[in-house]
Amino acid sequence: DAGVTQSPTHLIKTRGQQVTLRCSPKSGHDTVSWYQQALGQGPQFIFQYYEEEERQRGNFPDRFSGHQFPNYSSELNVNALLLGDSALYLCASSLRQVGSGANVLTFGAGSRLTVL
Amino acid sequence: AQSVTQLGSHVSVSEGALVLLRCNYSSSVPPYLFWYVQYPNQGLQLLLKYTSAATLVKGINGFEAEFKKSETSFHLTKPSAHMSDAAEYFCAVSDRGNTGFQKLVFGTGTRLLVSP
Q: What tens digit of pLDDT does each residue of A38-59 get?
A: 998 999 999 999 999 999 999 9
| Strand residues in chain B grouped as ranges (E) | 3-5, 10-14, 19-21, 24-26, 32-38, 44-50, 56-58, 64-68, 73-78, 87-94, 105-106, 110-115
CA distance, residue B36 to nearest chain A CA (Å): 10
pLDDT at site A103: 79
The partner residue sitting opposite A102, judged by closest CB among B41, B43, B51, is: B51
| Pairwise pLDDT comparison (B10 vs B28), residue with the higher score | B10
Instruction: Give yes or no for residue B27 having a pLDDT over 90.
Output: no
Instruction: Give yes or no for residue B26 having a pLDDT over 70.
Output: yes
A45 touches chain B (CB under 8 A): yes
Instruction: Give yes or no for residue B11 having a pLDDT over 80.
Output: yes
Instruction: Write the pLDDT tens digit of every residue in A5-34.
Output: 999 999 999 999 999 999 999 999 999 999
